[in-house]
Structure 1
Amino acid sequence: MRLFKLFNNKRLFILLITLVAFIVLMGFSLGPRKSLSWPENFLRDTTGFVQKLFYKPAGYIAGFFEDIGNLRDMAEENKRLKILMAQYARDKAQYNFVMSKNEELEVALKFTEAQRNLYKYEYHIANVVSVTTEPGNNTLVIDLGSKDGIRLNMSVTSTEGLVGVISNVSNFTSTVKLMTMMDIHDPNSQPPIAATAVNKEGKTFGMIESYDQKTGMLLMNKIPVGDPIAKDDKIISSGSGGTYPRGMTIGIVEEVKISQFGLTSTAIIKPAAGFQDWKELFVVFTEERVE
């Protein structure tokens, strides 16, 4: 019994000493000091080392996964940008096409309105389907046919000038024989064009009968002596003969030559039409052919 009591007193004594030491230690920790005690330094250094040992690799791992996430976001952003670039390129091309088409239609509209006001003709726009440039067969095919009212020998023009005449017609397409096939010695050639000069109607007259393949010029023959035709005159169809409507632009006079015997003259004419790179042309409907 005494031993048990002594043992209890000893435990109480140790607890008391421990409490006092703890209070003293707390006093040192809370009180104003210039330096930490070695146990505190040891504890702080140990804690910092452990944090550095575990937190730094953890930071690398976290940063690695964050970089992966950023790369994924960048990839998605690049994908969206590529799609936008493709859409922009497509829209830009479409815009350019529409603008070009509008410009062509504006030119065509002004042309047809001006011609209609002058001669009351109708101009039916036609797309060029194909072009043949074989020697002796300079023709092209348009997407208008008999169902559209197209008939043989109708004139075909561009916005610049006369191109040729309809030489063959099917239901949905027609063949145009170009002025570059004009040859006075060829019975299958395009018919000659009775022509005159602008502001000299009634004074100037001649027949455009052939095309010089070497020079690319039209020849206007049978011009009578004393005719006032001159260089830089604008030549148009006179309407005589009925094949070609009056007032169709043909070209510009480059030179006038007197024939060998001095009875007539020949005018060298540069065609107004370029005879290449056509996309659209116009078929001329005169009053008796309008349907």
Structure 2
Amino acid sequence: MLKLFKLLGNKRLFVILIGIVMFITLMGFTIGSRTSLSWPEKFVRDTVGFVQNIFYKPAGYIAGLFEDIGNMKGIYEENEELKIALAQYTREKARFNFMEAENKRLQIALDFTIAQSEKNNYEFHIAQVVSVNTDPNNRSLVIDIGQRDGVKVDMTVTSVEGLVGVVSKVSNFTSTVKLITTMDVKDPNTNAIAATALNKQDKTFGIIESYDQKTGTLLMTGIKEDDPLKEEDTIVSSGSGGLYPQGMVIGTVESVQIGEMGSLRTATIIPAADFVDWKQLFVVFTPEVQE
């Protein structure tokens, strides 16, 4: 038994010696200066490279996948922020456009009232249009000022462009305006307008008491044969009769015709006011009715 242990011990020593010799030999191959690798080095390098390639590609793919997911999340969050910014910009732009249009309307209204006050001793109270009645037999509209604001029946209502009508009904907070497009010579209650031509007040005179629905024009009658009225003259209220104050712009002469009796003429007038899409109008306060 003792001999057997000695034999095994000698074998272990022999194996260790062989291993040391091979290690020294391998070191000798690798330490020296040379241009090519030994076959053990090639084997080890190829093996290591193969194993690294097996593990590196899946690891790189997984790392790239997580990186792409992170990028997609960042892009999504950025898109959401851009959507919010765009919606806010759209709201602000719409608000700005509305304010700009409102400011322009108010500036026009201010310029109009200043210009009118310089011509006549009138006050123009601005009013918002609440509703419009498009019934052909009862064309009217409702404005948002009434008796508490000093509005009375028969007060004149105008737009920046021209005459619109007269107040026909008044309540505490609103007023109904009867449009000049309801004028009918056959109606005994029609509000006829005594009219003249701008810069020809001492030479021109006529009565406007009807509106033609088909042509959208007013008819001015009772014009004398020697009246200098001609096409494109601006027609304004003369102030006679007391209903419409002097100087309210009515429209422009489209044509002048010989009257039925030959001695008097008639004129077709294109209204200055555009009877659609109203937002703001003015009630005219004259010194006689102002409180």
Length-normalised TM-score, structure 2: 0.91
State how far apart, in whole Å, the 2-side matches of 1:268 and 1:2 are.
147
Report SS of the residue matched to 2:29.
helix
> Could you tell me which amino acid in structure 2 is paired with residue 140 of structure 1?
L
Is residue 121 of structure 2 the alignment partner of residue 120 of structure 1? yes
Distance 1:242 1:61 in 2: 93
Cα distance in 1, alignment partners of residues 104 and 289 from structure 2 = 29
Distance, in Å, in 2 between the alignment partners of 1:157 and 1:105 is 15
Displacement after TM superposition at 1:4 (Å): 9.4
Unmatched tracts of structure 2, length 5 or more? none
1:55 is the counterpart of 2:40? no
User: Equivalent residue for 2:135?
Assistant: 134
Equivalent residue runs for 1:32-111 within 5 Å:
32-111=33-112
Q: Distance in 2 between matches of 1:71 and 1:10?
A: 65
Identity %: 62
Range moving further from structure 2, 152-161 or 106-115? 106-115
3-state SS of the aligned residue for 1:134? coil
2:180 is matched with which residue?
179
| Residue 18 of structure 1, CA deviation | 4.6
Q: Equivalents in 2 of 1:258, 1:3: separation in Å?
A: 154
Gaps of 5+ in 1: none
Q: In the alignment, residue 144 of structure 2 is paired with which amino acid?
A: D
Give the 3-state SS of the residue equivalent to 1:210 in structure 2: strand
- Aligned residue identity for 2:241: G
Structure 1 residues 76-114: Cα deviation after superposition (integer angstroms, max 9, x where no partner): 111111111111221221122122222222222211111
Map Cα deviations across residues 181-201 of structure 1 (whole Å, 9 max, x no partner). Answer: 011211333x11111111111
- Select between 2-11 and 116-125 the one with higher mean Cα deviation: 2-11
How far, CA to CA, are the matches of 1:68 and 1:11 in structure 2? 58
In the alignment, what sits opposite 2:218? 218
- Matches of 2:226 and 2:232, distance apart in 1: 17
Distance 1:102 1:162 in 2: 23
| CA–CA distance in structure 2, aligned partners of residues 49 and 290 of structure 1 | 104
Cα distance between partner residues in 2 of 1:114 and 1:236: 15
**Partner deviation per Cα, 1:242-274 (whole Å, 9 max, x = no partner):** 111111000011111222222322111111111
> Matched residue of 2:111: which SS?
helix
Q: Distance in 2 between matches of 1:48 and 1:12?
A: 35
Counting matched residue pairs gives: 290
**Structure 2 CA distance for aligned equivalents of residues 209 and 196 of structure 1:** 14
Residue in structure 2 matched with residue 231 of structure 1 by the alignment: 231
**Matched residue of 1:34: which SS?**
coil
Question: What CA deviation, in whole Å up to 9, does each residue of 1:105-163 have, x standing for no partner?
Answer: 22222111111111121111111111111121110111111111111111111111000
What is the rounded CA distance, in whole Å, between the counterparts of 1:225 and 1:2 in structure 2? Answer: 161
For residues 6 and 50 of structure 1, what CA distance do their matches in structure 2 show?
41
d(CA) in 2 for partners of 1:161, 1:248: 7
User: Counterpart of 1:246?
Assistant: 246
Q: 93-102 or 241-250: which moved more?
A: 93-102
Bigger shift: residues 269-278 or 180-189: 180-189
Aligned amino acid, residue 64 of structure 2: G
**Where do 1:265-276 residues align within 5 Å?**
265-276=265-276
| 1:29 corresponds to 2:15 | no
Q: Which amino acid aligns with 1:288?
A: E
Matches within 5 A, 1:154-193: 154-189=155-190, 191-193=191-193
Q: Which amino acid in structure 1 is aligned with residue 94 of structure 2?
A: A
Letter in 1 for 2:133: T
Residue identity opposite 1:290 in structure 2: Q
The CA deviation at 1:38 is 1.6
Q: Please, what is the CA RMSD of the aligned residues?
A: 2.2
What whole-Å deviation, never above 9, does each CA across 1:197-236 have from its counterpart, x for those lacking one?
Answer: 1111111111111111121111111223322211111100
Which stretch of the first structure deviates more once superposed, 273-282 or 31-40?
Answer: 31-40
TM score, norm. by length of structure 1: 0.91
Range that drifts further, 166-175 or 27-36: 27-36
